[in-house]
Every structure is written in C-alpha cells, then in structure tokens.
Structure 1
C-alpha cells in the first residue's frame, strides 16, 4: 500500500521497467559491471527477477494491486512488450561488434562457435525462445478473461433472479414506449 508500490505495480510502469532495463543493461556499461564484479552479477539477477515479477504480476497476478488494466489492455500491453523484446533480440543479432569484447573475446575458447556467432545466437534465443513465456502469459490472460466473463454473467443472473428481472422489464417497457411513440408518429404522418 506504499506510494512506491503503487507506482511500480502500475502496468505501464512495470512494463517500462521490464523492457527499459533490458535495453539499459545490455547497451551500457552495466553489462560490463556484471561481468567483472560479483555484486554486479547478483544485482543483475535480482533486478531482472524482480522486474519480470512486477510485470507479470501487473498482468496476471492474483495479489491485489492498486490499478489493473482491463483484459484487452493487458493483452495490448503484453503484445507491445513482446514486440520490444523481440526487437531487442534482433538488435543483439545485428551488432557489428562484440559486446564486452575484452571479456568474451579473450576467453581463448578453441571449441564451438566464435564469440560473435555466440552473440548472434544469444540474440536469436532472446528473440525467439524468449517469446515462450510471453505466450504462456497471454494464454493465462485469456483464461482469466474468460473466467471473469463467466463470473460477471453469473453475477448478473443472480441479480436478475433476486430482482425478478426488473432491469429487463424496465428495458422492455422503454422499448415498448419507443415503439408506441414511433407508431403514433407514423399514424400522424400517414
């Protein structure tokens, strides 16, 4: 319930943290810090775990949050983030130089693909396989949406049973009045 929690659990803020930190981490010296310093590596793991958790919680979490998008908004947000994540993977694949070249380029590995091929493969994995969790979240949103529609319909049915369909009767009376008015107007004009 803290003001900080209200901000970071907002779906757009959580999405921005999730996707923005991915770009900020891999295209700044933060990636180098995580290679050379144990604290940097631990920070990276914790940060991406928390940012991913906040993003998924804002879409499909069962814990109450101050604001949750309606289901179509959740799917649109998820698709937008998925597109930015895919573009991130393509950007890694299209890099002409090796990221943290002094680290990966000096490993002296004589087997397997070259460091540039590894980087290209890593970008491809981020682009393709990285979308599997997105698909799982999208399916979860769709299931929750379906269940919510069922709950809303049942709630409406129970309300109609309790009130004797008063809303339906009122609506039908309104339609009958409109039809009667139209018939009188047609009789006067005809």
Structure 2
C-alpha cells in the first residue's frame, strides 16, 4: 500500500491540473438567448453594468448580420461607452468579437486589468458583412469596454475569450508540492 502512495499522489495531482492545461476558447454567440436583455451572468461574465440586449438578426434586420446563428447583441439608442462594459469574474485572455451594422458604428475595444487600461484595439467600421475585431492584446483582462461614436449602429456576435491558465510560477509551485508529497511518501515506504 505504501509503495503505491506516490503513484496515487501523482495521479491526483495530474487530475487536478489537467483541466488547467487545456483551456479552450469560449464563444458567446447569443443564440441561446431570447430576444431580451443579456442576462447578468451570461457566459460566466458580468453583464450587470451594461445595457446589452439580444435580438434576432435575420435578413430583415440588415445590415445587422449575424456571423453565426441568428442572434446578435447590441446596445440601445442611449447606449454609451460606460454601459458597454463586460466584466470577467476571473481574468481571461480576450480574443475579440464579430461586428456588423452601419458605418457610423465604428467600434474599438478598451481592455482593462485591475482597473488599469492595458490595451486598445484597432478601430473597425461596421458593415453588412460581419467582420472580426481582434483585441490586439495577449495579456490578461478583467473588463472589456466597446467604445463607439454610435452604439446603436452596430451589433456584436461571437464574443470570444479564453479563461486564464496558471502562470509559470503557479505551475512551478504545483510541481514542487507534488515532488514534496512524493518524497514524503517514499520516505515513509
């Protein structure tokens, strides 16, 4: 039994960290929503400080053309930079989103981490053909604000982000803990 303890400790440690090593992108398509306000915790994000709502963007809604599915998210006519902010419950890497709409719907991402502006994307002029606006920033963020001169003139689809993966220091600490558990188990044996 004592001889198998190091193997059990290793198996438990690997099972605990395996999900962290395989972080996949999350894409919020808004297709699973009714045509109404985006829920407060939609997609595991905090939408409470925003004025986003979902609508069906079928061909009758052109130039608000979905990139995928039928639904899009947009702000109302009184939308502003202040109420366009989406907050992350856990820091993540924000990849970008697809936009369509009128040319007055120019959009730019402002990316924040711990209250500080850490990145600003290029500016995209919306059109009837959905276009991807990349964040242009590879670091961690905890809030994304969409800035525009005309918030009601664009719609957003396929909001894409990746949950944070532990930093190298965290991996080193986990591996050191695993080594200590293994060494202690071997001494007991």
TM (norm. structure 2) is 0.33
TM (norm. structure 1) is 0.32
User: If each structure's strand is expressed as a fraction of its own residues, which one has the higher value?
Assistant: 2
Larger Rg, first or second structure (1 or 2):
1
